[in-house]
Amino acid sequence: MPKVRTSRSSASNNLFLLILPVAILFAGFIVWHTTQDVEGELAYSGCTIQEFSGLFQEGEKTAFFEGEEIDVPSQIPSSLKAESDSSFVLGVASGEERWIEVDLSDQKLMAREGDKVLLTTSISSGLPHTPTPTGEFRIWSKFRATKMEGGEGSYYYYLPNVPYVMFFENAEIAGMRGYSLHGTYWHEDFGTQRSHGCVNLPTPMAEKLYYWANPVTPEGTNMIRASGDNPGTRVVIHE
Protein backbone atom coordinates (compact mmCIF):
# COMPACT_ATOMS: atom_id res chain seq x y z
CA MET A 1 0.00 0.00 0.00
CA PRO A 2 1.54 3.31 -1.01
CA LYS A 3 2.38 5.83 1.72
CA VAL A 4 0.40 9.05 1.80
CA ARG A 5 2.67 12.05 1.87
CA THR A 6 1.51 15.22 3.57
CA SER A 7 2.73 18.31 1.85
CA ARG A 8 4.38 21.10 3.80
CA SER A 9 1.64 23.49 2.77
CA SER A 10 -1.04 21.14 4.07
CA ALA A 11 0.77 20.74 7.40
CA SER A 12 1.18 24.50 7.66
CA ASN A 13 -2.52 25.01 7.01
CA ASN A 14 -3.43 22.54 9.73
CA LEU A 15 -1.08 24.26 12.18
CA PHE A 16 -2.56 27.63 11.26
CA LEU A 17 -6.08 26.33 11.90
CA LEU A 18 -5.00 25.07 15.31
CA ILE A 19 -3.30 28.33 16.30
CA LEU A 20 -5.96 30.70 14.95
CA PRO A 21 -8.59 30.17 17.70
CA VAL A 22 -5.94 30.55 20.40
CA ALA A 23 -4.67 33.76 18.77
CA ILE A 24 -8.21 35.15 18.55
CA LEU A 25 -8.86 34.39 22.22
CA PHE A 26 -5.54 35.95 23.25
CA ALA A 27 -6.18 39.07 21.18
CA GLY A 28 -9.64 39.35 22.68
CA PHE A 29 -8.19 39.12 26.18
CA ILE A 30 -5.63 41.86 25.42
CA VAL A 31 -8.36 44.17 24.09
CA TRP A 32 -10.59 43.45 27.10
CA HIS A 33 -7.75 43.95 29.58
CA THR A 34 -6.66 47.20 27.94
CA THR A 35 -10.23 48.47 27.89
CA GLN A 36 -10.60 47.67 31.57
CA ASP A 37 -7.44 49.65 32.36
CA VAL A 38 -8.54 52.62 30.26
CA GLU A 39 -12.03 52.63 31.72
CA GLY A 40 -10.59 52.40 35.22
CA GLU A 41 -8.28 55.33 34.52
CA LEU A 42 -11.17 57.40 33.21
CA ALA A 43 -13.41 56.41 36.09
CA TYR A 44 -10.87 57.48 38.69
CA SER A 45 -10.66 60.98 37.27
CA GLY A 46 -11.36 63.05 40.39
CA CYS A 47 -12.13 66.74 39.89
CA THR A 48 -10.27 69.81 38.75
CA ILE A 49 -9.19 72.08 41.60
CA GLN A 50 -9.80 75.65 40.45
CA GLU A 51 -8.94 77.81 43.45
CA PHE A 52 -6.00 77.46 45.85
CA SER A 53 -6.28 80.37 48.30
CA GLY A 54 -8.88 78.75 50.57
CA LEU A 55 -10.72 82.08 50.64
CA PHE A 56 -14.48 82.40 50.20
CA GLN A 57 -15.17 83.95 46.78
CA GLU A 58 -17.96 86.48 47.37
CA GLY A 59 -18.53 87.14 43.67
CA GLU A 60 -19.66 83.57 43.01
CA LYS A 61 -23.45 83.41 43.10
CA THR A 62 -24.40 80.44 40.92
CA ALA A 63 -23.37 76.79 40.83
CA PHE A 64 -24.25 74.10 38.30
CA PHE A 65 -24.70 70.45 39.17
CA GLU A 66 -25.88 67.87 36.64
CA GLY A 67 -28.04 70.25 34.66
CA GLU A 68 -29.42 72.19 37.62
CA GLU A 69 -28.64 75.79 38.53
CA ILE A 70 -28.08 76.21 42.27
CA ASP A 71 -27.62 79.29 44.45
CA VAL A 72 -24.23 79.41 46.16
CA PRO A 73 -24.52 80.10 49.92
CA SER A 74 -23.66 83.68 50.83
CA GLN A 75 -21.15 82.49 53.42
CA ILE A 76 -19.58 79.32 54.77
CA PRO A 77 -21.67 77.95 57.64
CA SER A 78 -19.51 78.09 60.74
CA SER A 79 -20.16 76.98 64.30
CA LEU A 80 -16.56 76.41 65.39
CA LYS A 81 -13.67 78.77 65.89
CA ALA A 82 -10.48 77.77 64.12
CA GLU A 83 -7.96 76.72 66.75
CA SER A 84 -4.27 76.00 66.46
CA ASP A 85 -4.90 73.17 68.95
CA SER A 86 -7.62 70.89 67.56
CA SER A 87 -7.61 68.61 70.61
CA PHE A 88 -11.08 69.58 71.80
CA VAL A 89 -13.12 69.70 68.58
CA LEU A 90 -14.46 66.16 69.08
CA GLY A 91 -13.74 65.87 72.79
CA VAL A 92 -10.54 65.66 74.79
CA ALA A 93 -7.83 63.87 72.83
CA SER A 94 -6.73 60.49 74.16
CA GLY A 95 -3.31 60.55 72.55
CA GLU A 96 -4.08 57.58 70.28
CA GLU A 97 -3.84 57.86 66.51
CA ARG A 98 -6.55 59.89 64.84
CA TRP A 99 -7.83 58.32 61.65
CA ILE A 100 -10.86 58.41 59.41
CA GLU A 101 -12.77 55.36 58.18
CA VAL A 102 -15.07 55.57 55.15
CA ASP A 103 -17.40 52.60 54.64
CA LEU A 104 -18.71 52.72 51.07
CA SER A 105 -21.12 49.81 51.55
CA ASP A 106 -22.90 51.54 54.45
CA GLN A 107 -22.27 55.08 53.13
CA LYS A 108 -20.85 56.07 56.52
CA LEU A 109 -17.81 57.96 57.76
CA MET A 110 -16.33 57.53 61.23
CA ALA A 111 -13.69 59.72 62.87
CA ARG A 112 -11.67 57.57 65.27
CA GLU A 113 -9.00 57.78 67.93
CA GLY A 114 -7.60 54.29 68.09
CA ASP A 115 -10.69 52.06 68.24
CA LYS A 116 -12.92 54.75 69.75
CA VAL A 117 -15.46 56.37 67.41
CA LEU A 118 -15.77 60.13 68.00
CA LEU A 119 -18.02 61.06 65.09
CA THR A 120 -20.28 59.13 62.71
CA THR A 121 -22.09 60.62 59.74
CA SER A 122 -23.81 59.55 56.54
CA ILE A 123 -21.99 60.38 53.32
CA SER A 124 -22.46 60.32 49.57
CA SER A 125 -19.62 58.60 47.74
CA GLY A 126 -18.98 58.25 44.01
CA LEU A 127 -21.54 56.95 41.53
CA PRO A 128 -20.79 53.60 39.82
CA HIS A 129 -19.27 55.32 36.77
CA THR A 130 -17.24 57.75 38.93
CA PRO A 131 -16.32 55.62 41.95
CA THR A 132 -14.55 56.73 45.09
CA PRO A 133 -11.15 55.00 45.20
CA THR A 134 -10.51 52.50 47.96
CA GLY A 135 -7.34 52.02 49.98
CA GLU A 136 -5.32 53.82 52.62
CA PHE A 137 -4.65 57.52 52.07
CA ARG A 138 -3.35 60.61 53.84
CA ILE A 139 -4.83 64.09 53.85
CA TRP A 140 -2.31 66.17 51.92
CA SER A 141 -4.03 69.58 52.01
CA LYS A 142 -7.04 71.36 53.49
CA PHE A 143 -8.97 74.36 52.14
CA ARG A 144 -11.65 76.24 54.02
CA ALA A 145 -13.26 76.81 50.62
CA THR A 146 -12.36 76.01 47.04
CA LYS A 147 -13.89 75.82 43.58
CA MET A 148 -14.44 72.45 41.87
CA GLU A 149 -15.31 71.79 38.26
CA GLY A 150 -15.47 68.64 36.15
CA GLY A 151 -17.63 66.05 34.45
CA GLU A 152 -19.10 66.23 30.97
CA GLY A 153 -22.54 66.59 29.40
CA SER A 154 -25.33 65.89 31.85
CA TYR A 155 -22.73 65.16 34.55
CA TYR A 156 -20.98 68.53 34.30
CA TYR A 157 -20.57 70.41 37.58
CA TYR A 158 -19.31 73.87 38.52
CA LEU A 159 -19.22 74.33 42.29
CA PRO A 160 -17.72 77.50 43.76
CA ASN A 161 -17.04 77.80 47.49
CA VAL A 162 -17.12 74.10 48.33
CA PRO A 163 -16.67 74.23 52.12
CA TYR A 164 -14.21 72.45 54.41
CA VAL A 165 -12.26 70.48 51.82
CA MET A 166 -9.72 67.81 52.82
CA PHE A 167 -7.84 66.38 49.83
CA PHE A 168 -6.35 62.90 50.21
CA GLU A 169 -3.77 60.91 48.26
CA ASN A 170 -1.57 57.83 48.23
CA ALA A 171 1.14 56.36 46.00
CA GLU A 172 -1.41 55.23 43.39
CA ILE A 173 -3.86 58.16 43.51
CA ALA A 174 -2.01 61.47 43.16
CA GLY A 175 -3.26 64.40 45.20
CA MET A 176 -3.84 66.65 42.21
CA ARG A 177 -6.46 64.25 40.88
CA GLY A 178 -8.75 66.01 43.31
CA TYR A 179 -10.27 63.37 45.61
CA SER A 180 -11.41 64.81 48.91
CA LEU A 181 -13.74 64.82 51.88
CA HIS A 182 -15.83 68.01 51.85
CA GLY A 183 -19.02 69.77 52.82
CA THR A 184 -21.98 69.85 50.43
CA TYR A 185 -24.59 72.51 49.62
CA TRP A 186 -25.95 71.21 46.27
CA HIS A 187 -27.73 68.10 47.53
CA GLU A 188 -28.86 66.38 50.72
CA ASP A 189 -28.98 62.80 49.47
CA PHE A 190 -26.60 61.49 52.12
CA GLY A 191 -26.63 57.74 52.55
CA THR A 192 -26.66 57.16 48.78
CA GLN A 193 -24.04 57.28 46.03
CA ARG A 194 -24.22 60.76 44.54
CA SER A 195 -20.77 62.22 43.89
CA HIS A 196 -18.19 62.27 41.11
CA GLY A 197 -15.66 60.43 43.29
CA CYS A 198 -15.27 62.63 46.36
CA VAL A 199 -16.80 61.88 49.76
CA ASN A 200 -19.68 64.34 50.21
CA LEU A 201 -20.47 65.24 53.83
CA PRO A 202 -23.16 67.33 55.51
CA THR A 203 -21.42 70.67 55.96
CA PRO A 204 -21.67 70.77 59.81
CA MET A 205 -19.96 67.36 59.93
CA ALA A 206 -17.33 68.47 57.42
CA GLU A 207 -16.56 71.52 59.55
CA LYS A 208 -15.92 69.40 62.65
CA LEU A 209 -13.79 66.97 60.69
CA TYR A 210 -11.85 69.82 59.05
CA TYR A 211 -10.74 71.29 62.38
CA TRP A 212 -10.18 67.89 64.00
CA ALA A 213 -8.13 66.24 61.25
CA ASN A 214 -4.50 66.95 60.53
CA PRO A 215 -2.62 68.79 59.18
CA VAL A 216 -3.37 71.23 61.98
CA THR A 217 -4.90 74.47 60.68
CA PRO A 218 -3.50 77.51 62.51
CA GLU A 219 -5.97 80.22 63.47
CA GLY A 220 -6.60 82.66 60.65
CA THR A 221 -5.36 80.21 58.01
CA ASN A 222 -7.64 79.33 55.09
CA MET A 223 -5.50 76.54 53.68
CA ILE A 224 -2.71 74.28 54.83
CA ARG A 225 -0.57 71.61 53.22
CA ALA A 226 0.73 68.58 55.10
CA SER A 227 4.44 68.38 55.85
CA GLY A 228 6.86 66.24 57.79
CA ASP A 229 6.26 68.40 60.85
CA ASN A 230 2.50 68.62 60.28
CA PRO A 231 1.44 65.33 58.65
CA GLY A 232 -2.04 64.56 57.38
CA THR A 233 -4.54 62.26 59.04
CA ARG A 234 -4.81 58.70 57.73
CA VAL A 235 -7.97 57.94 55.72
CA VAL A 236 -9.06 54.33 55.15
CA ILE A 237 -11.72 53.80 52.47
CA HIS A 238 -13.24 50.35 51.94
CA GLU A 239 -16.28 48.60 50.54
User: What tens digit of pLDDT does each residue of 128-141 get?
Assistant: 999 999 999 999 99
* 24 and 132, same domain (yes or no): no
Pairing label, strands 180-184, 68-71: unpaired
* 110 and 62, same domain (yes or no): yes
d(CA 201, CA 122) in angstroms, rounded, equals 7
Cis peptide, bond prior to residue 215, ω within 30 of zero:
yes
- Considering only CA atoms, give the Rg of the chain: 25
* 68 and 160, same domain (yes or no): yes
Q: Is residue 127 part of a domain?
A: yes
Q: Is residue 88 part of a domain?
A: yes
pTM exceeds 0.85:
no
d(CA 111, CA 213) in angstroms, rounded, equals 9
Phi, psi torsion values for 38, nearest 5 degrees:
-65, -45
Name beta bridge partners: 200: 124, 182
Q: Is residue 132 part of a domain?
A: yes
The lowest-confidence range among 93-97, 167-171, 209-213, 219-223 is 93-97
Q: In terms of residue numbers, what domain contains 18?
A: 8-43
Q: Is residue 3 part of a domain?
A: no
* 172 and 220, same domain (yes or no): yes
Count of structural domains within the chain: 2
